[in-house]
Chain A
Amino acid sequence: MSEPVLPLGGASYSGLVTVSEHGPIGQVTFRGDLSSEAVKAAIKDVTGRDVPGLREVSGDGDTCVIWMSPDELLLICGYAEAGGLVDALTEKLAGEHVLAVNVSDARAAFRLKGKHVREVLGKLAPVDLDPAVFTPGMVRRTRLAQVAAGFWLLDQETAQVFCFRSVSEYMFNLLKTVSDPQSAVGYYSA
């Protein structure tokens, strides 16, 4: 099997921040009772990560578990590992009421890097990006302009944005537009 095809073939742009299509990455949607010990144990066992708290991410950029809703997680792993992860979770949680499904191709991901990363996101998402409020390890499921999206901070200057594959081109053009080098707001970086 050849290398997975990225929605935009690995597009990138450099302005207020660098915007680069990220991936391929493995993505698994998991739904279940996040407070159950069995679920916690299985997630830990299979991913090596804890079940994250409300609006949090556990792990690092390439392998992590993202809180998506009170009963949903997104597991990020290597592209080739997603199928095995689904199988392992399904097996470990046989008899439990859960759902695990490989959605690696359903979403596009972008990495935003640069000191203006908060401002760039702040032009598109109704989210408080104050460094004291939104810190690395937190995630927001929200919208960027007109489409559903989510993002988390890997560090103070790096964010990962995800959205559905079909709107990846819109998302890239959007991020590019608001990263125009002459459009700094001077709010978070002031």
Chain B
Amino acid sequence: MSTRLASGGRLTNRSKQIEFSFDGKRLTGFEGDTLASALLANDQMMLGRSFKYHRPRGLVASGSEEPNALVNLGKGDTHEPNQRATTTELFSGLEATSQNHWPNLDMDIGAVNGLFSRFLTAGFYYKMFIHPRPFWKHIYEPFIRQSAGLGKAPKAEARDPDTYEHFYAYVDVLVIGGGVAGLQAAKAAGEAGAKVLLVEQTAHWGGRAVVDGGTIDGMEAEEWVKTTLEALGKMDNVQVRSRTMGAGVYDHGYILCYERVRDHAPLAGGPRHRMWKVRAKQTVTATGAIERPLSFAGNDIPGVMLASAVRDYVVNYGVSVGDRTVVVTNNDDAYRTAIALKKAGMDVPVIVDARQMGGGALMDEAKALGIRVETGRGIAKVKGGKRVTGVTICNQQGEGAMIEEIACDCVAMSGGWSPVVHLWSHCGGKLNWDDAQAMFRPDHDRAPTSHDGKPFVTVAGSANGYLGLKDVLEDADTAGKSVSGSSAMTDAPKAENAEEKPLEPVWLMPQGASYDLRMKAWLDYQNDVKVSDVQLAAREGYESVEHTKRYTTLGMATDQGKLSNINGLATLSNALNEAIPQVGTTTFRPPYTPFSMGAIAGEARGDIFQPIRKTPMHQWHMDNGAEFEPVGHWRRPYCFPKAGESKHDAVMREVRATRDSLGLLDASTLGKIIVKGSDAGKFLDMLYTNMMSTLKPGKCRYGLMCNENGFLSDDGVVARIDEDTFLCHTTTGGADRIHAHMEEWLQTEWWDWKVYTANVTEQYAQVAVVGPNARKVLEKLGGMDVSKEAIAFMEWKDGTLGGYNARVYRISFSGELSYEIAVPANQGRDFWDALLEAGAEFNVTPYGTEALHIMRAEKGFIMIGDETDGTIIPQDLGLHWAISKKKEDYLGKRAQERLHMADPNRWQLVGLETLDGSVLPDGAYAVGEGYNANKQRNTQGRVTSTYYSPTLNKGIAMGIVHNGPNRMGEDIPFMAVDGETIIRAKIVNPVFFDPEGAKQNV
């Protein structure tokens, strides 16, 4: 059983006990424990079940590479699935539950899959579920979705109570990894005067060296780490952050770091996670190395762990995984585990060394401690179900015939070390295969390069393939100096490399293992991929490692194959009889380990999830029950329902009140762009389809804007302010886009034209005062002459109204007598209130966007976004009158002359009236005769906007119809949403109301 030792644990504080729970059981640990070490101390070996076969899963590792120990953490609002026990610091009240089992961890129905594992081989899903085709969507996929997934998704109504934030930092040198290499690199760069940020993903500094020991500059490793940290702390130009993971390396030195600010202290205030967005001139990845498992049968049984992890739990947390540990290795390093265990008073019945000649000094030391060493041997099979009970030893060169069975409750395995090259590789750093050490190492001649073609990532220490302490420190010192341009002649810290015999690559144990053994030799623990699966993929023709990965799911689990990738591709290369470098690796992609969604969102939640633009009158709209609709980032009132009134009824009332007497519209959101300069007229003639340069100061003109492909892009009224100055109104959503469009043409094509623009949309509040009593209410406010003679239709004037500085435009989008009045934004609300007060006697009625849309539709005015959709040219909408024939050019002119654009068969705008007076469905198609090549019904037109008109008491619509304008009076069939019901509508003139314009020209 696993248990807490009587003493030891360099990271734990035994005087401070901490209570937590696992699957409802109340357990205790110590301050400084991880959830993993605390669970082990409580003999909780089994922590979950695997993805496919629901095999029992226990801890394998002690760090972020852990594939198995994933738990649900927290509950209710704080519930989070797939949290690694090894990287979860224990805190008081922590609640964890195990994952992927039913009904419970011990007794799991899904484990029956394991019995059929012979059939659930690589590609099983592809082969099994492909036929019959329709079954996938309706039967297979729902079933697989049910059984897939590890942790539980948070409940839909759960709301994360924590806060998160981002932080931007700019440094000369970012060092990722706080082991001795990272510390030394940061120190060397800091001493050279560079601005340095050093991040470490765990709460502790020193990496492996503090566990594995060694002497640096005459100090114990731990002492040297402390001294170096103190030295860094004294440098103003160096900052260090623990609990901060270098997550991803992106182009041009953009690095994401993930700081877990208070996961270890959930009751503390402030943000839970902080996403660092770092721009680093140079990055040093001192990310260490990860130990590889060995592939032998039963290597997934709880109790089989990485040798380094077994050592970590003893040294760091004073926890033993078992009383009797068999160590199995192909290298010297694992002997350290045997020695540490023995020294802590535990049994190591045997060290199984696959190498014929065994190891060096460490082997001698182990032997001297009385540990039996078997060289040239391997493990044929691990015995046990939910827990290791023993191993059978065989000859490594054979097929697995048992030589001896040895009882044990822990197996510590080591297949060698793989440098953590992830961050080096994220942005294109390439790797070389090092045959002697059996590892991929960064190739310095093919580093990730920046805009200048020069490397911006440097790798240091074990991540660079150096495993000896002396080599690590020298490499880190060189890296730190080179990235900071240091010419210091200082020496690297003094240390010795331990004398070790070379490892011998072992990709399968024993090397001739039978199919039955290979079927139980796991490569990927989380996704259940075994040696036999990869071999099958190779036999079935998968040669690319990327394809094999996807076919077998190797390395596709949440750990992204940190333990399985190298073993998997070595297995593949053996099966293909190719060299490992020829097979290559899969792509390393950010993030290094998964981070929280909250950290990605940062501060953007609740009322600052998204910016909402508000006009000066917005508060009035809120106070008066407006139903809002989003228009760009604005929220505009759709209508203003009174108590008990439906939205539809409100809209009808607003239209009638405006047509009968007086309506008010908050038009502040419309874009207002000043265009000034001696070439302004020429510029606008190019932007608009019609002529603007001939407009007289004091006058307004409606204009259309197209993009260079001829499609209608925006519309609005242009007012000429003076000889050199125009004010262009745009649609609400078009303001920023059109301003950018203008600037783009001015800056890239017509840079020598004398034109300046300014977007003054937000300088003004604008109110449309609309209806037969519009003039009366303005006269009541007083201050300027608003008579027909003073301001005729399509004219504007400056003046004051009721004491407010106003610019009055006599323009109409409703067919009524109408003024649009702009006042400085700060006075907008006051002016609105004044209009309401003065208008009370005229039943003044604020109206929303829907009433606006209906009134313009009654007049047959087009709406950008309804009648246009990016494929419509003005000619489609019968707007020939707004297209100048005199102008030599305008944006879109050439495109509109192309064959397809000039085709008389293009659908044309018409009005539509249903025969029964009902409202046509929006977007409905007018069906034609027969079917097209895709067996779809032919069409001859579609509805572009449709409403119930309270003015005409019937449904009205606009649409585009084939040959429409020539088919006036014809009735054509429209298909309802059900795909069956036909609604007949008559083609009519799109101007339904007051076609002579008598009402607006008063």
Contact = CB atoms under 8 A, between A and B. Distances in A.
Interface of A: 1-2, 4-7, 24, 29, 31-32, 71, 97-99, 101-107, 119, 122-130, 133, 145-147, 164-167, 169-170, 173-174, 177-178, 180-185, 187, 190
B607 interface: yes
Nearest to B827: A5
Contacts of A4: 824, 826-827
Given A98-B756, A99-B758, A106-B762, A174 B829 contact: no
A24 B826 contact: yes
Given A97-B756, A145-B603, A130 B826 contact: no
Given A31-B758, A166-B634, A187-B239, A128 B763 contact: no
Interface stretch (B162-170, B472-480, B486-494, B846-854): B162-170
Contact of B168 (A1, A127, A173): A127
A128 to B, nearest CB: 4
Contact of A128 (B163, B170, B610, B614): B170
A170 B612 contact: yes
B277 interface: yes
B678 A97 contact: yes
A167 B611 contact: yes
Contacts of B269: 180-183
A177 B803 CA distance: 39
A170 B165 CA distance: 16
Interface in B607-622: 607-608, 610-616
A165 B762 CA distance: 6
Contacts of B754: 97
A181 B763 CA distance: 34
Given A130-B195, A180-B163, A187-B167, A101 B271 contact: no
B167 A123 contact: yes
Residue among B165, B603, B829 having the largest count of chain A Cβ atoms under 10 Å = B603
B607 A180 contact: no
B168 A178 contact: no
Given A124-B166, A177-B603, A180-B270, 13 more contacts: A4-B826, A99-B676, A99-B758, A103-B760, A104-B826, A106-B763, A122-B169, A125-B168, A126-B277, A166-B634, A170-B608, A182-B268, A183-B163
B889 interface: no
Determine chain A's interface SS by DSSP, over half rule. Answer: loop
Interface of B: 163, 165-170, 195, 239, 268-271, 274, 277, 279, 602-604, 607-608, 610-616, 633-634, 674, 676-678, 754, 756-758, 760-764, 803, 824-827, 829-830
A146 B762 contact: no
Given A105-B763, A180-B270, A29 B758 contact: yes
B604 A145 contact: yes
Nearest to B607: A173
Contacts of A165: 616, 762, 825
Contact of B826 (A6, A32, A169, A177): A6
Contacts, number: 133
A146 B610 contact: yes
A133 B169 contact: no
Given A97-B756, A101-B758, A102-B763, A170 B611 contact: yes
Contacts of B608: 145, 170, 173-174, 177
A31 B763 contact: no
B403 to A, nearest CB: 60
Nearest to A184: B270
Contacts of A104: 763, 824, 826
Given A128-B279, A183-B165, A178 B603 contact: yes
B193 to A, nearest CB: 12
B612 to A, nearest CB: 7
A61 to B, nearest CB: 20
Contact of B166 (A32, A99, A123, A133): A123
Residue among B676, B754, B763 having the largest count of chain A Cβ atoms under 10 Å = B763
Contacts of A105: 762-764, 824-826
B611 A147 contact: yes
A185 B167 contact: yes
Residue among B274, B633, B677, B826 having the largest count of chain A Cβ atoms under 10 Å = B826
A71 B829 CA distance: 34
Nearest to A99: B756
A130 B270 CA distance: 23
Residue among B602, B615, B829, B830 having the largest count of chain A Cβ atoms under 10 Å = B602
Nearest to A190: B239
Contacts of A1: 803
A125 B167 CA distance: 8
A167 to B, nearest CB: 5
A106 B757 CA distance: 15
B756 A146 contact: no
B613 A166 contact: yes
Contact of B760 (A5, A106, A177, A184): A106
A4 B166 CA distance: 35
A98 B754 CA distance: 9
Nearest to A32: B756
